[in-house]
Amino acid sequence: MLEIKDLHVNVHGKEILKGLNLKVPPGEVHAIMGPNGAGKSTTSYTLAGRAGYEVTKGEIDFFGEDVTALAPEERAARGIFLAFQYPLEIPGVSTMNFLKTAMNSQAKIRGEKELNAAEFLRAVRAAAKELNISEDMLKRPLNVGFSGGEKKRNETLQMALLKPKLAILDEMDSGLDIDALKLVAEGVNKLRSPDRSFLVITHYQRLLDYIVPDVIHILAGGKIVLSGDKSLALQLEQNGYDAVIAKAA
């Protein structure tokens, strides 16, 4: 479903990704781990289509289509979802209005029928209940005054409603204590399915105890230097990035 080929990306004129290759088949959970400055966030922003992340070479094929020239909203409508490391607080935009606009915008881009008010409410209530999100949270402006855990649960709710084919979780564990992390991971695990893939981007191995990956890739110096099964995470935990990367080289 996702195949990244020899991807080179410049940010502010500096090359950050230097030939990234990655293949994620349907239904699999892949983790990208790497030290600070390896290009983890650049990878997630580039996949989502953020302005300022300039692809100078290579392709991002999503179901066989190169999406590098598509706008963020067009990628979203094709099923690419980025869960933000720091979800934005947007005062003045209610969570409900935001969710409805997002769902209907995607439907519109895909040429599908938009939800009416009742269908939308039913969908939100069901998903919110599943993720333990209160009605009160939904009434508040988007993420305003939410705790770290609430913000991440809200991201999970958006994922549940938007039903992406590829979910990129960018440092999902940032700013979460262990209880909040468990709760969020539980939400994510409920969304695992044979036709949905995950790309879990993380610095620490901790998150992978709760969202168990099929494959782990180590990103260093702008490319994948090593791939393996989940035991790779333990090696990293014990020996540190430097030793593992040195061994791979």
**Separation of CA 107 from chain center:** 20
Q: How far is the CB of 196 from another protein (least distance, A)?
A: 16
By CB under 8 A, tell whether 109 contacts another protein. yes
- Contact string 148-167 vs another protein (x = CB under 8 A): ----------x---x-----
Structure tokens at 63: 């179901």
Site for another protein in 167-206 (CB under 8 A): none
Choice between 151 and 223, CB closer to another protein? 151
Q: How far is the CB of 225 from another protein (least distance, A)?
A: 28
Q: How far is the CB of 156 from another protein (least distance, A)?
A: 13
- Contact string 122-141 vs another protein (x = CB under 8 A): -------------------x
Choice between 95 and 205, CB closer to another protein? 95
Residue 94: beta bridge partners?
141
Tell me how far apart the alpha carbons of residues 226 and 244 are, in angstroms, rounded to a whole number: 9
Site for another protein in 37-56 (CB under 8 A): 48-52
Structure tokens at 192: 């695992």
Quote the crossing angle between the two packed helices 95-110 and 148-162, to the nearest 10°: 30
By CB under 8 A, tell whether 2 contacts another protein. no
- Enumerate the H helices of 30-177 as residue ranges: 40-48, 72-78, 95-110, 117-130, 135-139, 148-162
By CB under 8 A, tell whether 68 contacts another protein. no
Q: What is the DSSP string of 5-73?
A: EEEEEEETTEEEEEEEEEEE-TT-EEEEE--TTSSHHHHHHHHHT-TTEEEEEEEEEETTEE-TTS-HH
By CB under 8 A, tell whether 95 contacts another protein. no
Q: How far is the CB of 10 from another protein (least distance, A)?
A: 15
Q: Taking every pair of C-alpha atoms in the chain, what is the biggest distance, in angstroms? A: 57
Choice between 62 and 225, CB closer to another protein? 62
Q: How far is the CB of 184 from another protein (least distance, A)?
A: 18
Start-to-end Cα distance in the chain: 28
Choice between 152 and 223, CB closer to another protein? 152
Task: Please check whether residue 10 is in contact with residue 36, taking contact to mean a CB–CB distance below 8 angstroms.
Answer: no
Binding site for another protein (CB under 8 A): 48-52, 71-73, 75-77, 81-82, 84, 87-88, 90-93, 98, 101-103, 105-106, 109, 141, 158, 162
